[in-house]
């Protein structure tokens, strides 16, 4: 009896939440460590015998042409990420903090941009800025009478532009979520001391969003390195290689999976380096924006700067969305897109066929959205747990660092290589998932876990722990604190995180192509087939439908969640 009550006493005092944290760590091991570990093994094995060897690393890095590709990828990553910040941060500020008009239009355009599969966007840009026949070049030739147009999309700057166009929404959503939380009082303090609006923005508002911007920068950098579609279209004709185009060649017959794995491994070192940098920059500064002590948010009046700001936003959206969309529409509605735009070339047959007659598209659409939805929920739940553990120091700082690194690691491994890891991890007992929908869902969840984590991390950092301490002082458990205080505060950031995981998951190709089976076909694979078949009319139709459905789903989703589509709170 005595022991039992003592046990009961201990049970009562034990922080039950620790089980959840333990579980989160186990799931992380299962999702991330297992595939990465298998990948490491593959990179150190001889293909036939499985014996230990460093030969794969020698093959991957023993030739200058392979190393050059890595250099090009780094240039691409840094330039694209910088351009994304230049695109995304001002727009996020304008939509979050100012009274700029037409915010709804800009937001929908950004959403649309994000949904367009980068491959399709890249083809759109070839038609716009191809050196010989690009519409923009022909326009310039027409107007100025020059010999040839000035733009060449088949170049490093061209590739950087296209990659940035389809990645800047990450920076936008991250920054906007952070800025949405900054209260006007902090800005008022600066204003009272005589600072101008501009100065307040640069010395108060934006620095508070710095962790979010840095997180997004890293994310975009890693995404630019891991992309395959756009580099394959633009870099090869531009006569240079990047990591992913080089990787693809290791899969040509005879496939050298071990060499591919070895070639991708140093990318993990780059990720570690980036984390270290991020920590150095944001070290020991406070970024708590949500204190629970009031916090009114008033838009900054832009005055006559309203219009230039709107013009900038529209300019970016024109580059990323409107112009490529015109090209996609033209192709989707054309009998033969090579004939250009004319009335007798218009047809709705491509769209009709895609929506109503092609059974494959129908089931693939359903699968795509189900898997992406399930993957987003898993990724966000796990990311939140890890972000909470790390930020509230429920584990030691070292373990915290390892956890954050693990959560971010999957992003940098190009999907085509990661698929090998998944395949190896989930075809061996105890987990036989190969051929099922789960392998796709888990692969998507793992691949985009970093996005969810970067987002959750920034969100949790911005919440003052005092809010939870108040609950605990009043006798509430950690769970009560999380349920009643943290979760409601996070809702808005989570909506952003959901978009950022859901959309990339609907277009994930490189892992899906190796893991899907007859009954688990997804749209991205169909899109890839159409591009492989040179069928641009159908490719554009499927792309257009993907854009329409996804944007509609998100808008309706937010309505249902009780927020308007600007992610503002509808009720205080």
Chain residues that interact with another protein, rule: CB under 8 A: 65, 123, 126-127, 130-134, 154, 232-233, 236-237, 239-241, 248-249, 251-255, 335-339, 345, 356-357, 360, 423, 427, 432, 434-435, 513-514, 517-518, 525-526, 529-530, 532-537
Hey, CA dihedral for 414, 415, 417, 418, is it positive or negative? Answer: positive
Closest to another protein by CB, 350 or 455:
350
Minimum CB separation from another protein for residue 227, in Å? 14
Closest to another protein by CB, 249 or 477:
249
Minimum CB separation from another protein for residue 61, in Å? 17
The whole-angstrom separation of Cα 529 and Cα 524 is 9
Collapse the DSSP code of 187 into the 3-class scheme (helix H, G, I; strand E, B; otherwise coil) and give the result. Answer: helix
Structure token digits, residue 220 = 């975009």
Closest to another protein by CB, 134 or 211:
134
Torsion, Cα of 351, 353, 357, 363 (10° steps): -50
Q: Of 232, 274, 166, 198, give the one whose Cα is nearest residue 532.
A: 232
- The backbone torsions φ and ψ at residue 73, rounded to the nearest 5 degrees and listed phi first, read -65, -40
The whole-angstrom separation of Cα 382 and Cα 387 is 9
Closest to another protein by CB, 184 or 524:
524
Minimum CB separation from another protein for residue 516, in Å? 8
Minimum CB separation from another protein for residue 130, in Å? 4
Minimum CB separation from another protein for residue 521, in Å? 9
Structure token digits, residue 536 = 């641009």
Minimum CB separation from another protein for residue 518, in Å? 5
The whole-angstrom separation of Cα 476 and Cα 463 is 18
Closest to another protein by CB, 345 or 480:
345
Closest to another protein by CB, 300 or 327:
327
Collapse the DSSP code of 136 into the 3-class scheme (helix H, G, I; strand E, B; otherwise coil) and give the result. Answer: helix
Q: How many CB atoms are closer than 10 A to CB 339?
A: 10
DSSP letters spanning 505-534:
HHH--TTHHHH--GGG--HHHHHHHHHHTT
Closest to another protein by CB, 390 or 425:
425
Closest to another protein by CB, 405 or 514:
514
Are 119 and 531 contacting, i.e. CB atoms less than 8 angstroms apart?
yes
Minimum CB separation from another protein for residue 228, in Å? 10
Minimum CB separation from another protein for residue 535, in Å? 7
Minimum CB separation from another protein for residue 428, in Å? 8
Are 227 and 267 contacting, i.e. CB atoms less than 8 angstroms apart?
no
Minimum CB separation from another protein for residue 92, in Å? 34
Residues facing 290 on adjacent strands: 463
Q: Of 209, 199, 211, give the one whose Cα is nearest residue 93.
A: 209
Collapse the DSSP code of 569 into the 3-class scheme (helix H, G, I; strand E, B; otherwise coil) and give the result. Answer: strand
Minimum CB separation from another protein for residue 133, in Å? 4
The whole-angstrom separation of Cα 16 and Cα 478 is 9
Closest to another protein by CB, 133 or 198:
133
Closest to another protein by CB, 180 or 508:
508
How many CA atoms, within 13 angstroms, populate the side-chain half-sphere of residue 220? 36
Minimum CB separation from another protein for residue 63, in Å? 10
Residue with tokens 């078949």: 533
Collapse the DSSP code of 300 into the 3-class scheme (helix H, G, I; strand E, B; otherwise coil) and give the result. Answer: strand
Closest to another protein by CB, 44 or 463:
44
Closest to another protein by CB, 235 or 567:
235
Closest to another protein by CB, 343 or 518:
518
Minimum CB separation from another protein for residue 437, in Å? 15
Please state the three-class secondary structure of 234-293 as a single string. Answer: HCCCCCCCCHHHHHHHHCCCCCCHHHHHHHHCHHHHHHHHHHHHHHHHHCCCCCCCECCC
Question: Which helix (H) or strand (E) covers residue 498, if one does?
Answer: helix 487-507
The whole-angstrom separation of Cα 352 and Cα 358 is 9
Q: Of 81, 391, 58, give the one whose Cα is nearest residue 226.
A: 81
Residues facing 45 on adjacent strands: 52
Cis bond upstream, residue 241 (ω within 30): no
Structure token digits, residue 289 = 């924006």
Minimum CB separation from another protein for residue 342, in Å? 11
Cis bond upstream, residue 254 (ω within 30): yes
Closest to another protein by CB, 102 or 336:
336
Q: Of 258, 234, 253, give the one whose Cα is nearest residue 245.
A: 234
Minimum CB separation from another protein for residue 420, in Å? 9
Closest to another protein by CB, 424 or 489:
424
Question: Which helix (H) or strand (E) covers residue 229, if one does?
Answer: helix 229-234
C-alpha 568: how far from chain center: 21
């Amino acid at each position: 009896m005595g022991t039992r009550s003592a046990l009961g006493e201990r049970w009562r005092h034990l922080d039950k939440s620790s089980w959840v944290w333990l579980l989160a760590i186990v799931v992380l091991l299962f999702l991330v460590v297992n595939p990465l570990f298998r990948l490491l093994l593959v990179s150190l094995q001889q293909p036939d015998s499985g014996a230990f060897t460093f030969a794969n690393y020698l093959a991957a890095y023993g030739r200058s042409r392979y190393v050059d590709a890595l250099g090009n990828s780094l240039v691409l990553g840094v330039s694209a990420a910088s351009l994304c910040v230049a695109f995304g941060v001002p727009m996020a500020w304008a939509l979050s903090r100012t009274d700029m008009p037409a915010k709804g239009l800009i937001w929908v355009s950004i959403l649309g941009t994000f949904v367009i599969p980068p491959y399709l966007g890249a083809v759109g840009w070839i038609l716009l800025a191809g050196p010989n026949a690009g519409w923009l070049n022909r326009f310039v030739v027409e107007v100025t009478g020059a010999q040839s147009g000035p733009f060449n999309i088949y170049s490093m700057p061209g590739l950087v532009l296209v990659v940035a166009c389809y990645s800047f929404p990450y920076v936008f959503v991250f920054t906007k979520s952070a800025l949405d939380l900054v209260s006007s009082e902090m800005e008022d303090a600066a204003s009272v001391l005589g600072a101008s609006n501009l100065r307040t923005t640069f010395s108060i508002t934006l620095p508070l969003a710095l962790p979010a911007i840095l997180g997004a920068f890293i994310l975009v950098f890693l995404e630019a390195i891991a992309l395959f579609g756009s580099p394959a279209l633009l870099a090869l004709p531009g006569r240079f290689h990047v990591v992913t185009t080089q990787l693809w060649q290791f899969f040509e017959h005879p496939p050298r999976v071990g060499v591919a794995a070895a070639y991708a491994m140093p990318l993990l070192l780059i990720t570690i380096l980036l984390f270290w940098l991020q920590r150095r920059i944001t070290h020991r500064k406070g970024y708590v924006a949500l204190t629970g002590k009031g916090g009114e948010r008033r838009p900054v009046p832009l005055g006559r700067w309203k219009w230039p700001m709107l013009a900038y936003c529209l300019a970016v959206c024109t580059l990323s969305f409107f112009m490529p969309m015109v090209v996609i529409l033209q192709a989707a509605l054309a009998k033969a897109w090579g004939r250009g735009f004319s009335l007798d070339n218009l047809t709705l047959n491509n769209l009709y066929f895609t929506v109503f007659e092609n059974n494959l598209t129908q089931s693939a659409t359903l699968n795509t959205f189900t898997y992406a939805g399930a993957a987003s929920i898993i990724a966000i739940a796990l990311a939140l747990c890890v972000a909470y553990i790390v930020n509230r120091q429920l584990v030691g700082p070292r373990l915290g660092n390892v956890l954050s690194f693990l959560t971010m690691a999957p992003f940098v491994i190009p999907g085509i290589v990661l698929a090998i890891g998944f395949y190896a991890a989930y075809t061996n007992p105890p987990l036989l998932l190969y051929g099922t929908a789960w392998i796709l869902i888990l692969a998507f969840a793992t691949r985009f876990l970093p996005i969810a984590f970067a987002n959750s991390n920034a969100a949790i950092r911005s919440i003052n722990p005092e809010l939870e301490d108040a609950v605990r002082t009043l006798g509430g458990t950690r769970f009560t604190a999380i349920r009643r205080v943290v979760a409601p505060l996070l809702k808005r950031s989570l909506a952003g995180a959901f978009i950022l995981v859901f959309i990339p998951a609907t277009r994930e190709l490189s892992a899906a192509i190796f893991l899907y089976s007859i009954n688990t076909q997804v749209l991205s694979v169909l899109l890839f087939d159409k591009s492989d078949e040179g069928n641009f009319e159908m490719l554009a139709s499927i792309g257009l439908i993907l854009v329409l459905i996804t944007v509609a789903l998100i808008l309706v989703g937010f309505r249902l969640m009780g927020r308007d589509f600007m992610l503002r709170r509808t009720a205080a």
